[in-house]
Amino acid sequence: MQSATTKPRVFSGIQPSGGLHLGNYLGAIRNWVRDQDKYDNIFCIVDLHTITVPQDPAALRENTLDLAAVYLASGISKTQAMFIQSHIPAHAELAWILECFVPMGWLERMTQFKEKSGRERERSSAGLFAYPALMAADILLYDTRYVPVGEDQRQHIELTRDVAQRMNQRFGELFTLPEPMIQAAGARIMGLDDPQKKMSKSLAAEAPGHAIFILDAPEVVRRKLARAQTDAQPEVRFPAGPGVTNLLEIYRTIQGKDWATVEKEFGGKSYSVLKTAVADAVIEALTPIQQRYREIRTDDAALVQHLRGAAERLTPTANTTLRRVQEAVGLR
């Protein structure tokens, strides 16, 4: 049951649904890179979750490699386990078994399902409904201790714990109970076009000026920031409104500066001075990532080989858990 290292096992899952933005980078990826040596990490690219809503096959393939390449380019070490969910069949196999132990009522209460299915409930896929059971399988297969997620995923981790406990009670100690690892005070980057809303992939799809993407070219970054919402005041003044605060937050997070410093730096300055400084900082942070990304994507075969290699190394661990469960329920 114990992993080979003494570091706690962390499992994180990210959907290859395209368009990683500055919020994902500053709020998540950058912290994972910073903390990667503290944990025994598994970074899973959850393509099976992505197909719970309609996808263009070519785009899915592309987004999957993009995500892997952006991770490596951002500084996730090649020694960390990063793999594609569908490369390890045990995920789908355990998910099925868990689905047979998760009551419909639990799944019906999931807010993400309610939001994603919306008024199209009858037409949304059975996969979208069963999604939390697949996520539970991802986590439970590796005896995970911590799962870094956003607040929105807390309910799914609770369901994971509930189904694990239910099966442990019935069959003995099958699973390690995971805990969510939710950033206490991570960056919360807001939309450039509307600083009342969190920067998100879905809003970005509707309004191109909403988000800066990690792979945006410098001139695109400048254009989006030039149009970002500010305040009705003639210059930067404190307390600043949400638009200016968001720009300062982006700047501050990238530069690692505290509020007092940025207030002194920009108080009384024009919005264009602020926006230029934010653009410079964002471009400086993203340019090396984009360069490494392009290098990595020139050799997709090597990237796929890397992902396959990680999947091969993880498969025995996943299969050990799967077998334990299969035996417990009477499937072998």
Q: How many CB atoms lie within 10 A of CB 332?
A: 9
Cβ distance to ligand AMP smaller for residue 10 or 90: 10
Residue 217 beta carbon to ligand AMP: minimum distance, rounded to whole angstroms: 21
Least Å from the CB of residue 216 to ligand TRP? 22
Beta bridge pairs of residue 180: 147
- Chain positions contacting ligand AMP, by CB under 6 A: 23-24, 27-28, 150, 187-189, 198-201
Per CB under 6 A, contacts with ligand TRP among 126-145 are: 135, 138-139
Catalytic site residue 116? yes
Both tokens assigned to 275:
């926006």
Q: Is 267 left (phi over 0), alpha (psi -120 to 50) or beta?
A: beta
What is the per-residue burial (b if ≥16 Cβ within 10 Å, else e) of 5-35? eeeebbbbbbbbbbbbbbbbbbbbbbebbee
Identified catalytic residue from 38, 201, 257, 269: 201
Interface segment toward ligand TRP; rule CB under 6 A; list 146-154, 183-191, 225-233, 259-267: 146-154
Token pair of 307 as six digits: 């992902």
Which partner, ligand TRP, ligand AMP, none, binds residue 11 by CB below 5 to 8 Å per kind?
A: ligand TRP
Contact with ligand TRP (CB under 6 A) among 21, 49, 145, 210: 49
Helix 154-171 to helix 300-329 angle (10° resolution) is 40
Q: What is the CA radius of gyration of the chain?
A: 21
Q: Which does 84 bind (CB under 5 to 8 A by kind): ligand AMP, ligand TRP, none?
A: none
The CB-nearest residue to ligand TRP is: 13
Q: Which of 7, 114, 197, 198 is catalytic?
A: 198
Examine the residue annotation and report whether 198 is marked as an active-site residue of this protein: yes
**CB nearer ligand AMP, residue 50 or residue 317:** 50
Q: Where are the beta strands (DSSP E) in the chain?
A: 9-14, 40-45, 81-84, 146-148, 179-181
Nearer to ligand TRP by C-beta: 173 or 179?
179
Handedness of CA 213, 248, 288, 11 (dihedral sign): negative
**Rule CB under 6 A: is residue 253 a binding residue for ligand TRP?**
no
Handedness of CA 224, 227, 232, 237 (dihedral sign): positive
What is the set of active-site residues? 116, 198, 201
Q: Which residues bind ligand TRP (CB under 6 A)?
A: 11-13, 15, 46, 49, 135, 138-139, 147, 149, 153, 156
